[in-house]
């Protein structure tokens, strides 16, 4: 099989897994594992997994806190991390329920334990693995991408025209002693808007997207129009979901704003008048392993 065609199929299996629910996730998971066991990948897989013991590795991890609060201590060697993740995917395929429980322990964020675990593992582990695994295979192991995202306590706020929502969110994050990045507040330095955006986005470890009712729109055949976020907000949402992974993007929705139908697995919270959104956002930041003192929210 052509290598590019094989990785296209692998990527398609991951996309199907992203979109899957509890009743449907086993099929794309097993397809992904089958493709990763392809004969063309056998040599790379043998090299990556040589001498690794997945069960011993799992036994050393702290999963006691649950609900995304567990911690995984990955090896310093990126090849060992790739190998262990490969073995983990094979284990998920053999025991799909384990994937949900594993995800709930280390990546889960929602109330549905299994589904949030599946989406968490897919967005924050498997997608990154496939990216780095392809690099490893296509360069014969000579180029090492990092599976673990660089840690950063800078938070990018994507926003529309609602200055009140923007200021309220920014001041709350600053209260937590987190550094807030708002594009319009950054110096231009002779750069185009997209250059300024890319430079600022490269520094952050988490993005909060404000979906506020700034525009209206609908399908051509529809009657009436829906409240929608600005087009730049939807563009930046997609950018960060791809760059950081869905587990490091949180949507805050104000009012009855339309949610794009293909945002599978991205958590959103309504900005309720009682400000319960603050607790929800803190939970998402903690799940993404952002370093801050949550007790400051009560000060």
Domains of the chain and CATH, by start: 3-138 (no CATH), 154-298 (3.40.50.10140)
Instruction: Please give the chain's pLDDT, 299 residues, in tens.
Output: 444 478 888 988 998 898 888 899 999 999 999 999 999 999 999 999 999 999 999 998 865 544 445 678 889 899 999 999 999 999 999 999 899 888 888 876 555 567 878 888 888 899 889 988 988 887 766 555 444 444 578 899 998 888 888 999 999 999 999 999 988 888 887 777 777 777 777 788 899 998 888 656 555 455 656 676 778 888 888 888 777 777 788 888 887 777 665 554 566 788 877 778 888 888 888 888 888 888 888 76
Angle (deg, nearest 10), helices 78-94 and 26-36 = 130
242, 214 Cβ separation under 8 angstroms? no
Question: In the numeric block, which tokens belong to residue 137?
Answer: 């295979």
Phi, psi (rounded to 5 degrees) for 125: -130, -55
Residue 65 confidence (pLDDT): 47
Residues 6+ apart with CB under 8 A from 205: 149, 150, 151, 152, 153, 154, 155, 244, 248, 288, 290
Beta bridge partner(s), residue 207? 156, 249
List the beta bridge partners of residue 211. Answer: 253
Angle at 221 between CA 217 and CA 227, to 5 degrees: 20
Dihedral, CA of residue 143, residue 236, residue 72 and residue 27, to nearest 10 = -90
Q: What is the pLDDT of residue 146?
A: 47
SS (H, E, C) the chain: CCHHHHHHHHHHHHHHHHHCCCCCCHHHHHHHHHHHCCHHHHHHHHHHHCCCCHHHHHHCCECCCCCCCCECCCCCCHHHHHHHHHHHHHHHHHCHHHHHHHHHHHCCCCCCHHHHHHHHHHHHHHHHHHHHHHHHHHCCCCCCCCCCCCCCCEEEEECCCCHHHHHHHHHHHHHCCCEEECHHHCCCCCCCHHHHHHHHHCCCCEEEEEECCCEEECCCCCCCCEEECCHHHHHHHHHHHHHHCHHHEEEEECCCCCCCCCCCCCCEEECCCCCCHHHHHHHHHHHCCCCCCHHHHHC
Give the residue among 196, 200, 150, 160 at the shortest CA–CA distance from 180: 200
Q: Are 232 and 266 in contact (CB under 8 A)?
A: no
């Amino acid at each position: 099989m052509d290598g590019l065609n094989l990785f296209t199929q692998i990527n398609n299996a991951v996309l199907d897994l992203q979109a899957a629910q509890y009743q449907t996730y086993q099929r794309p998971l097993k397809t992904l594992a089958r493709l990763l066991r392809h004969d063309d990948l056998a040599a790379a897989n043998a090299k990556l997994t040589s001498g690794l013991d997945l069960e011993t590795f799992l036994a050393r991890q702290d999963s006691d806190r649950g609900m995304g609060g567990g911690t995984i201590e990955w090896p310093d060697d990126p090849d060992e991390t790739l190998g262990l993740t490969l073995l983990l995917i094979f284990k998920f395929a053999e025991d799909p329920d384990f994937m949900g429980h594993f995800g709930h322990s280390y990546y889960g964020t929602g109330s549905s334990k299994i589904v949030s675990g599946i989406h968490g593992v897919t967005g924050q582990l498997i997608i990154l693995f496939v990216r780095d695994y392809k690099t490893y295979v296509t360069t014969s192991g000579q180029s090492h991408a990092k599976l673990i995202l660089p840690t950063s306590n800078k938070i990018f706020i994507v926003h529309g025209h609602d200055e009140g929502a923007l200021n309220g969110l920014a001041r709350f994050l600053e209260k937590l002693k987190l550094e807030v990045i708002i594009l319009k507040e950054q110096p231009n330095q002779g750069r185009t808007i997209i250059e300024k955006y890319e430079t600022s986005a490269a520094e952050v470890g988490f993005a909060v997207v404000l979906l506020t009712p700034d525009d209206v729109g609908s399908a051509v055949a529809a009657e009436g129009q829906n409240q929608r976020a600005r087009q730049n907000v939807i563009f930046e949402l997609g950018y960060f979901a791809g760059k950081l992974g869905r587990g490091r993007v949180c949507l805050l929705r104000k009012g009855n704003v339309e949610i794009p139908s293909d945002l599978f697995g991205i958590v959103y919270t309504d900005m309720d008048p009682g400000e319960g959104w603050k607790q929800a956002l803190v939970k998402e930041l903690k799940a993404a392993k952002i370093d801050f003192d949550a007790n400051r929210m009560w000060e």
